[in-house]
Amino acid sequence: MEAVFTGGDIARQMPLEAKKFVGIDKNWLKLMEKAVETKKVVQCCQNDMLKDFLPDLYTNLEVCQKSLEKYLEGKRKNFPRFYFVSASDLLKILSQGSEPTNIQEDFEKLFDAVNKVTFGKNPEKKTSNDKIISAIQQVMGRDEENVTLINYVKCEGNIEGWLKTLEKTM
């Protein structure tokens, strides 16, 4: 959960949960520093700070987990193909949504018969750095098929939005 709440698109979309998680993480690190100082397991486990903080940290962590699950369910309802992807893969996809080239290996999990997509710059805007999908590639054994898209898909905005556009172009 640290990777999800400490940076990336998901942390920006869930700022309250991210802030809560940072607090939980700081308290956890304090507990671990105290454990290192103590150096003896029995003494460490009898520490009042440990007894007071752990149940609260666990409860707050569960709240963050439930909020994250609710967030993922909302994304799945918005783009049903996300139901076919594991939670960890979905988290990766959503956190990398602003950089679509980073989810290249996940396209085959989302779309049948799509192994890769070809990214390029928009030919209409020579100076723009817009990421677009210009072709789809399928590989089956030694056979490879490339399909050039008539309508390019702009990879901007929320990821499920441009994935829906890609779905419609196929």
Structural domain harbouring 74: 2-78
The reported pTM is 0.78
> Scanning the structure block, which residue is given the tokens 């103590």?
38
Distance, CA of 67 to CA of 104 (rounded, Å): 27
Q: Do 56 and 111 fall into the same domain?
A: no
**Is 139 a domain residue?**
yes
Mean of pLDDT values over 83-91:
92
Listed residue (164, 168, 131) closest to 149, CA to CA = 168
* pLDDT at 126 (0 to 100): 59
Tell me the HSE value of 124 on the side-chain side, using a 13 A CA sphere.
8
Whether residue 128 is predicted with pLDDT greater than 60 in this model: the reply is: no
Domain count, the chain: 2
- In-domain check, residue 85: no
In a domain? residue 51: yes
Return phi, psi of residue 66, to 5°.
-65, -40
Predicted local confidence at residue 49, as pLDDT: 74
